[in-house]
Every structure is written in C-alpha cells, then in structure tokens.
Amino acid sequence: GQSLEQPSEVTAVEGAIVQINCTYQTSGFYGLSWYQQHDGGAPTFLSYNALDGLEETGRFSSFLSRSDSYGYLLLQELQMKDSASYFCAVGFTGGGNKLTFGTGTQLKVEL
C-alpha cells in the first residue's frame, strides 16, 4: 500500500519562511502534489512534482527527491492568509486515476 507522513502542525511568524515536509512509501511512485485548504473551504491545488528538484510558483515552492522518497512545500514571506492546512498527495503507477492524500499539516501564522 501507500503511506505518507507529514507533521500535524507547524507554527511560524508573519514574514518568515516555513517548510512542510512529506515522506512517502509507495511502490511505483509517479508524482507528488500539494494542496491548500482553509478552514471551511475546499482544497485547492498548489503544485506538482514528478521529477527531482524545485518548482517555484510565486511565494510557494515545492521540492522532490525521488531517491529519498521525500518532498517539501516551502512558503516564503509568510502572510496571515497562509494559515491553512496543507496536504501532500501521491500518485503511483498501477494506481489508475487516483491520488493518495496525507493527513495534512495545519500551518498557523502568527504576528
């Protein structure tokens, strides 16, 4: 089966940089996605990595190391509105058209 591990909670101050890690165990790994979900809201797609390295989208970047079965989401210049839950999700060959989601990391941004 597949399993993903991410911290349950992370706290950081406004303006800082925070890294949310995700480690996974899956056979036939194909790619890693990140989603953001505000309280009471729908998850929204942030980024996707299929190859090793860093993908940057504005203040958010996502990194993947396939050899280490590890990825992270990096949020820079934190803002209060970044307070949300962040989920990593993996797809795997043979898994068909589906993702397996992690349990989520709640990010609290403080003044």
List the Cα angle 80/99/22 in 5-degree steps. 50
Q: How many residues bind other proteins (CB under 8 A)?
A: 21
Q: What is the 3-state secondary structure (H, E, C) of 14-44?
A: CCCCEEEEEEEECCCEEEEEEEEECCCCCCE
Report 70-99 residues binding other proteins (CB under 8 A). Answer: 87, 89, 91, 96-99
Mask for 1-30, x = binds other proteins (CB under 8 A): -------x----------------------
Cβ atoms of 70 and 19 within 8 Å: the answer is no
Report the residue number, 94 or 111, with the smaller CB distance to other proteins: 94
CA torsion sign for 76, 79, 83, 84 is negative
Report the residue number, 72 or 91, with the smaller CB distance to other proteins: 91
CB of 89 to other proteins, least distance (A): 8
- 13 phi, psi to nearest 5 deg: -100, 155
Binding site for other proteins (CB under 8 A): 8, 31, 33, 41-45, 48, 87, 89, 91, 96-104
